[in-house]
Copies of this chain bind each other. A is one copy, B any other.
Amino acid sequence: MGSRMDEENHIDEDDNDNDAKFKSKNLKAERKRRKKLSSRQLELRSIMNKATIITDAITYIEQLKNSVEELSNQLLQMEATTFDEEKIKLKEIHDEQETKKWGIIPEAEVHVNNICGTKLWIRIVLQKKRGALTKLMEGISLLGIDLNDTSITTSSGAVLFTTFGEGIRGGLPDAGQMKKYLLEIMRSI
């Protein structure tokens, strides 16, 4: 028998001195305990709503893990390739940019010097282009010139071609004519 209707009418006003009518000594303590318990339960219920963040946390963690994996792979791939093909590619890109920065060679620069009638000193600076050197060598060869000391050097997208030539059968075209001819070849590429 424990309801408020048991006795007169004013029993459980908090912590008042009206507990003389009860036999139990732990009445007050039990009231306090129940109150605490109840409040704790309410507290628990209030934070239980926040338990939904666990679901969010799971998906969030998944996203983060994916990001980490993706980024790690990217870095690994970058580091792995950057000291091989990638570096060469970067160099080529850099060369292109450098060439553009310093200005594109508008047209091959050709120098032909006729020396002692049968000897040639050729110096050509041209923009690096696929097949250009092949055509150049081919053209010079067609003119019947034997190339003795040829050096081809490329740097920053430009090509320096220097050679020391000689007419195969003594005869040799005029230096001016040859220059025109070589320029023609360069333009045609």
Contact = CB atoms under 8 A, between A and B. Distances in A.
Interface stretch (A13-21, A137-145, A146-154, A181-189): A146-154
A90 to B, nearest CB: 5
Interface string A79-96: 000110001101101100
Nearest to A160: B153
Nearest to A119: B115
Contact of A60 (B61, B91, B149): B61
B151 A160 contact: yes
Nearest to A91: B91
Given A64-B65, A68-B71, A155-B154, A121 B149 contact: yes
Contacts of A65: 64
A1 interface: yes
Nearest to A90: B87
Given A61-B61, A149-B113, A153-B155, A82 B90 contact: yes
A127 interface: no
Contact of A111 (B71, B149, B154, B160): B149
Contacts of A82: 90
Interface in A43-85: 54, 57, 60-61, 64-65, 67-68, 71-72, 74-75, 78, 82-83
The 9 residue pairs across chains A and B that have the minimum distance between CB atoms: A71-B71, A64-B64, A153-B153, A116-B116, A91-B91, A87-B94, A67-B68, A87-B90, A162-B162
Given A78-B78, A91-B91, 16 more contacts: A64-B64, A67-B68, A68-B71, A75-B75, A87-B91, A87-B93, A87-B94, A88-B94, A111-B149, A113-B164, A115-B116, A116-B116, A121-B149, A121-B164, A123-B151, A153-B155
